[in-house]
Structure 1
């Protein structure tokens, strides 16, 4: 039997096509998620600005919840996928494709050894021998990192994708006004400037600014709560996040570093996790805090013997947004932290651009 094509089969206008397609899925994003995605998109359509240093807050912004979509919804989904990158920065043509996030066993945290562990960490921080940067010098941080890229969900399964582990190098002047970021595959070839005229603050700290902060843990924590009020999912979570942002791609004076750890131990919900691995495969002990809204746990990892800071890890511990418990959303490892004499200079090299 030969079926004749009707006029409707030969041509469908947009209105007719819309009536035939199923209603678009409802992603059920929280208000917080909507605001973070909107902010991320608005940054991307503005003129190119210096790439920010990575932070826990930024990394969570690139989360995309995919849903069963119609043809009309696919363009937006792919647009958000293309925008993802470390620190909210622009990806390049050579950006490696994301990989499925690793899944680890969730080890419970405990407060039993919190006080003693923090004192060991604070003592190690106080004894740190990294020299103080002077005028014209730069703080150099080399890290191995992987940040959340996209969460894809369809009718059959969901999976969380992250960036492949890669090297990130940053240079920042003590006053925070000049800097450079080299992150092959995630920044333009050769790197991008981090020059900024933004006034230093807890959310945009410089070494010179950190020198002005109180080194009494109670006074320091009070200031952190006051200046981050209204940000994040809860005051406790935001305080923990803020301290964590000062530990990774930054250098803090030794006394302040010790005070930050002692202050963090006073935040409700902070626990010790006995066995955690950083992005370089180094096993250590961690101070951790769970974000009760998103269900992920931020872990600061320290060497078990020396208590030196190694890196960080973000692990989903509660089912949320189709992210399975045990999923590693991001992890980092600080490989080198030093003071150098010129931008783009690496420790042990002579001259800029080495």
Structure 2
């Protein structure tokens, strides 16, 4: 029954997008069936801090049914792509997403902290979430604190909009994307062109360039890169900058000026114009430092459904030796 329920969730998930046309459906079916033939290891569907939970057999079935094939969700809500606010500044309108993301990558490299955690340690992050209900205008803020096992061998404590739970390590035959396993992250290429190739199948990345990336592959490559940036706040040196540059090479990313972040700062938004997408990345208009994310979230069904504008940013992070021990109290 659980498998049936999960398939129903995939069937019902539309990410706010219009129905796929027949040509797009055919491309999705063909791509996922090819992936199914190549992939032998199942990808886990399990409760943990919202990630790109992908069950390969479920995806193929959903694709054949002609539905959107990747769901990003937790147990109480569905995240959908944000509709960025309109802007009119001519200079920003003329700036390409590639330019913004290239400058963001340069800022990241210039200010990046070198990190080399031990396998037995935890990565602590403190994230600030600010949500505004669209219907009432009521705003609530949350502080999410996470302690993620560096080598994913021990349970991690994870939170989502104020609620926390223990996330068990992946099982031997499971693969989760985006991964927070430091050893796996360290093996991802920091060359943006090679990273694009690796994102064709991020659970088993390959940089073989003998086969070019096709047009129908770009949306999922973009989605996997967004997931990496959105759900992995601390990465090995060079990887985040490479991810920004790689996104800048993907057709369909666009710039939106005058996007406010969770602190009220006005920045430049970069949003993927296609589907699926996780939302809008916000950058400082002068330094191109990353400020945070903007997206929308829904909860409930039918008349009880509520929509929230969600803004988030990483407040702090550290490497710690014990789970649920904050950096300031580390002995």
TM-score normalized by structure 1? Answer: 0.57
Return the alpha-carbon distance in structure 2 between the equivalents of residues 266 and 140 of structure 1: 31
8 Å Cα contact 1:313/1:331 also seen in 2: yes
TM-superposed CA distance for 1:32, in Å, is 8.1
Q: Which has the higher contact order (CA 8 A, sep 6+)?
A: 2
Of 258, 262, 265, 2:248 maps to 265
CA distance in 1, matches of 2:330, 2:75: 30
Alignment match of 1:303 (pick from 275, 284, 296): 284
Does the alignment pair 1:133 with 2:129?
no
Say whether 1:338 aligns with 2:318.
Answer: yes
Displacement of 1:346 in angstroms is 1.7
Deviation at 1:147, TM superposition (A): 7.1
Residues of 1 paired with 2:137 and 2:73: CA distance?
16
Query: In 1, distance between residues paired with 2:318 and 2:283?
Result: 18
SS of residue paired to 2:199:
helix
Aligned-pair Cα RMSD in Å = 4.1
2:149 equivalent to 1:169: no
SS in 2 for 1:225: coil
Cα offset, 1:168, TM superposition: 1.0
What SS does the corresponding residue of 2:104 show, helix, strand or coil?
Answer: helix
- For the 8 Å contact 1:200–1:209, the answer to whether it is kept is no
Rounded to whole Å, the distance in 1 between the matches of 2:278 and 2:121 is 35
Post-superposition offset of 1:162 = 9.6
Q: Aligned partners of 2:312 and 2:52: how far apart in 1?
A: 11
Cα offsets for 1:33-75 (capped at 9, x unmatched): 63549xxxxxxxxxxx9742234779xxxxxxxxxxxxxxxxx
Aligned runs of 1:1-354 on 2, under 5 Å?
34-36=11-13, 51-55=47-51, 88-89=74-75, 105-107=85-87, 110=93, 112-127=95-110, 128-145=112-129, 164-178=140-154, 179-182=156-159, 185-187=162-164, 191-197=165-171, 199-200=174-175, 202-227=177-202, 235-250=217-232, 251-292=234-275, 298-314=279-295, 329-351=309-331
Q: Residues 112 and 132 of structure 1: is their aligned pair in 2 closer, same or farther, counting only changes over 3 Å? A: same
Which whole-Å CA distance do the structure 2 matches of 1:313 and 1:184 have between them? 14
What's the secondary structure of 1:53's corresponding residue? coil
Question: How many residues are aligned here?
Answer: 248
5+ unaligned residues in a row in structure 1: which ranges?
A: 1-30, 38-48, 59-85, 92-101, 152-158
Moved >6 Å (runs of 4+): 160-163
Aligned partners of 1:330, 1:57: CA distance in 2, in Å?
A: 21
Asked whether the 8 Å contact 2:52–2:177 carries over to 1, the reply is no
CA–CA distance in structure 1, aligned partners of residues 137 and 47 of structure 2: 22
Unaligned 5+ segments in structure 2 are: 1-7, 15-44, 55-71, 205-215
- TM-score normalised by structure 2 residue count: 0.61
